[in-house]
Amino acid sequence: MITHEPNPLYAANPERYKTMQYQRCGRSGLKLPKLSLGLWQNFGAVDSQSNARHMLRRAFDLGITHFDLANNYGPHYGSAEQTFGAIYAQDFAHYRDELIISSKAGYDMWPGPYGKGGSRKYLVSSCDQSLKRTGLDYFDIFYHHCMDAETPIEESMQALDYIVRSGRALYVGISSYQPAQTREAVRILRDLGTPLLIHQPRYNLFDRWIEKGLTDVLLDEGVGSIVFSPLAQGVLTNKYLQGIPADSRAARPELIYLNNKDITPEKIEKVNALNRIAEQRGQSLAQMAIAWTLHNPAVTSCLIGASRASQIDDSVAALNNLHFSTEELAQIDAIAASQ
């Protein structure tokens, strides 16, 4: 837990809303910042709590009003929510009505048959646990984190509807649902009277699966989206321009979502070619990669991660140039779209 510091009460930057751009989420009345901060990594019990506090403060000072959590973020499971809850109590409680705070449930969380999936039992119990860890009275958005093939989609959506009607959340979302499943979720929730606000899929220059049907569904149905992994777990930065550094994620075999098999010489060649386009645009590769995700009309917000506050500043600077010429888009597609 974070210990109380003798510093005066945190006062947010009064100019914060002049920094960030906001966009309406689908056809709802809710606006989200074009960049949101994800607490997937670097906010767990093994991480620096003072650094986590500094990053959250810096993000809000730059107008990032949306903080994204999940029940199993850590390590250990639940610890990112605990970290956030301690910092929230000290620094952000008096800003509650200016914040969008989300959490999710779906992946493995606790032992036994009720600790993962999409059942009403799991989703409601998990939401209650997450509220307790964060110290919040409600979440602004609560997501089903992943489709559960063993649970009827009707049950999962009924659970999300109940979570809203019981006051546990204001809006609901889904993450990583395929196009047909998404359209069905939209229909069920609309019939229940709790419209689907948002979808959270993976999306970046190298991973464009959402363009094969999902973006059409979101635009047709008026559902917003917030995309995660815009930098492909660091691949779309300058970190791998010369190969795999010994201290990088790709060099760590325990990180199953990225390893050296993903960083081939062919991939590094593509990253260097993309970096040359970014330089011509006056951006870093990371900034161009973030800006590119926001070029998609179905994308409401891009979910960034950070290990230090300066990375948040760098990401926000991407908003200074969101325009892509037809030629630039064609060049990027020629390099990155073929995998």
103-131: pLDDT as tens digits: 999 999 999 999 999 999 999 999 999 99
The whole-number pLDDT of residue 240 equals 84
Q: In this structure, is the dihedral angle defined by the CA atoms of residues 232, 237, 242 and 244, taken in order, positive or negative?
A: negative
Average pLDDT of the residues in 7-33: 94
Q: How far apart are CA 115 and CA 106, in angstroms?
A: 9
- Between the alpha carbon of residue 263 and those of residues 49, 251, 286, 322, the distances in Å are 31, 10, 16, 27
Whether 24 shows a pLDDT value over 70: the answer reads yes
Taking the whole predicted model, whether its pTM rises above 0.85 is answered as yes
The whole-number pLDDT of residue 4 equals 47
Average pLDDT of the residues in 167-192: 98
The whole-number pLDDT of residue 261 equals 63
CATH number of 29-200: 3.20.20.100
Top pLDDT among 9 and 157 is at 157
